[in-house]
Amino acid sequence: MGIETEIERAIFFDVDGFGSSATYTPSGGGPVSINGIFEDDYDQIDAGGSIGFAASSPTFQCSTADVSGAAEGDALIVGSASYIIRVVMDDGTGVTMMQLEAQ
């Protein structure tokens, strides 16, 4: 079950609660301030041997309305870190998750 309304999404992504502020810049467009949830977890990757390695997998989840035209290659700044959007996943409930690559 998704978050039902844009008002509820705004509460969920609010920077006073769970959210972080970011600057989203679409290719060929101007920067826009948005709120969302930033995560930068490390995942263990099995390289086919007895030793795995860890890799960072930063993501930003936000209201689809804020990034409705988001595409691979767009830019996102969270705090002082710059990222390129590599994958855009609209879940169909009004929330979009973007996989990021650090710059």
Report the DSSP pairing between strands 20-25 and 75-78: antiparallel
Q: Where are the domains positioned within the chain?
A: 6-102
Which pLDDT value is given to residue 40? 92
Quick one: which of 33, 31, 36, 32 has its CA closest to 9? 36
> What is the C-alpha to C-alpha distance for residues 86 and 4, in angstroms, rounded to an integer?
27
Residues in the chain: 103
Give the CATH fold of the 6-102 domain.
Answer: Thrombin, subunit H (2.40.10)
Q: Tens digit of pLDDT for each residue in 12-67?
A: 899 998 899 999 999 999 999 999 999 998 777 777 777 777 888 899 999 999 99
- Tell me which H or E stretch contains 45: strand 32-45
pTM across the whole model: 0.85
Alpha-carbon gap, residue 13 to 35, rounded angstroms: 6
Q: pLDDT tens for residues 60-96?
A: 999 999 999 999 999 999 999 999 999 999 999 899 9
What are the φ and ψ backbone dihedral angles of 74, each rounded to 5 degrees?
-65, 165
